[in-house]
Amino acid sequence: MAVAALRATPERLVRDLKFLGFLFESMVIRDLRIYAQAADARVFHYREKDGLEVDAIVEAADGRWAAFEIKLGERWVPQGTESLNKLVMRMKGSEHEQPSTLAVITPSGYGFAGTGEVGVIPIAALGP
């Protein structure tokens, strides 16, 4: 709806990848909130004063949590992975459990996940 309200053409969106990235992130957050609500979970944004930021933390009612970075393309996956790994390092030794899942959500491409690794999830693979 935001694209229609702004009358943004595909050409304009491709010229302004930062804006397109914000739109994609908003869409993914909306999807995560819908899936989280169905699973009795909540979605948060994480930001520290020194600049560490994680786009989405999904926390289940039992305390388990997952962290997600949302990136517009595969070339930004390393940047998202770095943020998620920094978050895990900061959480070590705290009273908080380690995350159940760490992943970068992208608009397309191949998804993968390994034990203890940051996975990549194409948005089409998201679901309840």
pLDDT digits (tens, 9 = 90+) for 50-76: 889 999 999 999 989 999 999 998 889
Output the six-digit token pair for 73. 């393309």
Write down the pLDDT at residue 128: 64
Compute how many other C-beta atoms are within 10 angstroms of the C-beta atom of residue 70.
25
Output the six-digit token pair for 108. 């397309």
| Residues whose CB is less than 8 angstroms from the CB of residue 113 and which lie 6 or more positions away in sequence, other chains included | 101, 103, 119, 120, 121
- Split at pLDDT 50, 70, 90, the class of 6 is low
- For the entire predicted model, the pTM comes to 0.85
Write down the pLDDT at residue 31: 93
pLDDT tens-digit map of 75-111: 899 999 999 999 988 887 666 678 888 999 999 888 8
Q: What is the CATH number for 88?
A: 3.40.1350
Which backbone phi and psi does 30 adopt, to 5 degrees?
-60, -45
- Eight-class DSSP state of 48: -
- Eight-class DSSP state of 99: P
Q: Are 120 and 103 in contact (CB under 8 A)?
A: yes
Q: ∠ CA 94-99-100 to the nearest 5 degrees?
A: 145
Write down the pLDDT at residue 117: 86
User: Hunting for tokens 């989405």 — which residue is that?
Assistant: 56
Per the structure, how many domains does the chain have? 1
Q: Which domain holds residue 29?
A: 2-125
**Helix or strand holding residue 112 (H, E):** none
